[in-house]
Amino acid sequence: MTMINRIDLEAALSKPNLLLIDDSKEDINLLTMWLYRDHQISVAADVENALSMLNEADIPKPDLILLNATSADIEIDQLSQQLNKDHTTKHAPVILIVHDNDKEEENFREDSNAVDYITKPFHPKQVLARVRTHVTLHKQNRQLLKRLKQHTKDLHNSKIQVIQHLHRAGKHKDNESHAHVIRMSLISKLLAEYTEQDQAWVERIFHATPMHDVGKIGVPDSILHKTENLTPDEVRIMQEHTLFGAQILESDNDPLLLMASVIALTHHEKWDGSGYPNGLQTDQIPLEGRIVALADALDTLMSPSHEEATWTEQHIVNYLMEQKGQHFDPNLTDIAIEQLPQIIEILELYPDHEDNNQQYSFFKSTR
């Protein structure tokens, strides 16, 4: 390929893509004659043909659509549905081609959500100006949307980093292993996926779970690391770590921090109301708190360092059935029993003796 041909090809590829839907050869010839220099033009005789073209991978997705407004309403609806299915065409502007002073078509324009219209007989300057305006606006909107998505992603990652650093600070006070936090997060995510929550909620609980005990920062070392039985007053102080954690993570409008705060506050509540700090019961306990409570207990019970390390899978099932409706949400308990093989697999993948830095690299890799 010569340099001139390559430049011509690059210029052609950089042109905006127009999809012209019109059954009038005269209209097509006029519009193509005015627009071809600055645009890549695809032509469809009707909406049905256009729908087929939109489904073809080798045909460029339109940056703007010129549509003869005489098409049947049902065909227009089908076109709109197809455009909205694909994120690359969802915001593509539609300019309707209408007859001048056609009141019926004006009413249709309002119903169609088209961004603009051009009238017949055509005026070249009007056609060029309106197409150029909406192609430019569409390009700007795409750039703004791209920046917004990147900004949202960066902000989300920053919040996750804050949560990880807070947890790291808490590690100076608590002896929880990094692997325990990873396992808890994965078990929480697994349970959440079976509660019919949306995927964004599931991802939030995965990232919020590591902060469940951040409030232990506020508990004196003499109590936190005491090897003998705690006195009643010391038990009360220890239980306040749920309140400290909720206060540290409190947020009015950030979903991730709000969930982390709720988890910190409620993960020691019990289904029968015998938990702390507020003695909540049944579905008074937020779902995320119920999930993390079960995930924490499961990992602790099944950890090799636990005093019941010799428990078999059946021992675990028996314990869960015993605590079903007492400590744990009955529905979540059933899910945990059904998914016990996967939970055991999580424990085997992330044993306690792994490198202490694994938690941070693990959560970084899942963003």
List, in sequence order, the alpha helices (H) in the chain: 3-14, 25-35, 47-54, 73-85, 103-112, 124-170, 178-192, 199-208, 221-224, 232-239, 241-249, 255-266, 287-302, 313-323, 330-338, 340-349, 358-365
Neighbours of 12 (CB within 10 A): 9
Q: Same domain for 44 and 163?
A: no
Q: Same domain for 158 and 133?
A: no
Tell me which of 137, 171, 204 is where a domain ends: 137
- 146 within domain boundaries: no
Tell me which of 137, 164, 192 is where a domain ends: 137
At 11, is the pLDDT very low, low, confident or very high (cuts 50, 70, 90)? Answer: very low
User: Can you give the CATH number for the domain in which 46 is found?
Assistant: 3.40.50.2300
- 32 within domain boundaries: yes
CB–CB of 204/255 below 8 Å? yes
Neighbours of 211 (CB within 10 A): 26
Which of these, 330, 295, 319, 302, lies nearest to 190 by C-alpha position? 295
pLDDT in tens, 312-362: 888 899 999 999 999 999 999 999 999 999 999 998 888 876 444 454 445
Lowest model confidence (mean pLDDT) among 19-28, 38-47, 141-150, 230-239: 141-150
What span, in angstroms and rounded, lies between the C-alpha atoms of 358 and 352?
11
- 17 within domain boundaries: yes
What span, in angstroms and rounded, lies between the C-alpha atoms of 207 and 361?
13
Q: Same domain for 325 and 183?
A: yes
Q: Same domain for 50 and 177?
A: no
Q: Same domain for 130 and 162?
A: no
Q: Same domain for 234 and 355?
A: yes
Quote the domain boundaries for residue 26: 3-137
At 7, is the pLDDT very low, low, confident or very high (cuts 50, 70, 90)? Answer: very low
Q: Same domain for 163 and 302?
A: yes
Q: 220 or 9: which carries more pLDDT confidence?
A: 220
pLDDT in tens, 235-260: 999 999 999 999 988 877 888 889 99
The pLDDT value recorded for residue 356 is 46
Q: Same domain for 119 and 245?
A: no
pTM of the model: 0.60
Q: What angle do CA 249, 252, 253 make, to 5 degrees?
A: 105
Q: Is the pLDDT of residue 364 over 60?
A: no
The pLDDT value recorded for residue 307 is 58
Q: Same domain for 219 and 339?
A: yes
Burial class (CB in 10 A: 0-12, 13-18, 19+), 344: middle
Q: Is the pLDDT of residue 87 over 50?
A: yes
Tell me which of 113, 137, 161 is where a domain ends: 137
The set of catalytic residues is 216
- 143 within domain boundaries: no
The pLDDT value recorded for residue 1 is 46
Q: Is the pLDDT of residue 13 over 70?
A: no
Lowest model confidence (mean pLDDT) among 3-17, 31-45, 170-184, 215-229: 3-17
Q: Is the pLDDT of residue 12 over 60?
A: no
Neighbours of 266 (CB within 10 A): 25
Mean pLDDT rounded to a whole number for the chain? 82
Please give the average per-residue pLDDT across 63-84, as a whole number: 77
Q: Which residue has the tokens 């920062």?
A: 217
Q: Is the pLDDT of residue 367 over 60?
A: no
pLDDT in tens, 150-194: 776 766 676 666 666 666 655 555 556 678 888 999 999 999 999
- 145 within domain boundaries: no
The pLDDT value recorded for residue 363 is 52
pLDDT in tens, 264-297: 999 999 999 999 999 999 999 999 999 999 999 9
User: Can you give the CATH number for the domain in which 267 is found?
Assistant: 1.10.3210.10
67: enclosing H helix or E strand: strand 64-68
Q: Which residue has the tokens 């073809």?
A: 56
- 315 within domain boundaries: yes
Q: 90 or 264: which carries more pLDDT confidence?
A: 264
Q: Same domain for 105 and 176?
A: no
Q: Is the pLDDT of residue 209 over 80?
A: yes
Phi, psi torsion values for 333, nearest 5 degrees: -60, -45
Give the best-scoring range by mean pLDDT among 51-65, 107-121, 155-169: 51-65
- 223 within domain boundaries: yes
Q: Same domain for 17 and 52?
A: yes
Q: Same domain for 97 and 189?
A: no
Residue 299 Cα distances to 112, 166, 205, angstroms: 55, 22, 16
Q: Is the pLDDT of residue 233 over 90?
A: yes
Q: How many domains does the chain have?
A: 2
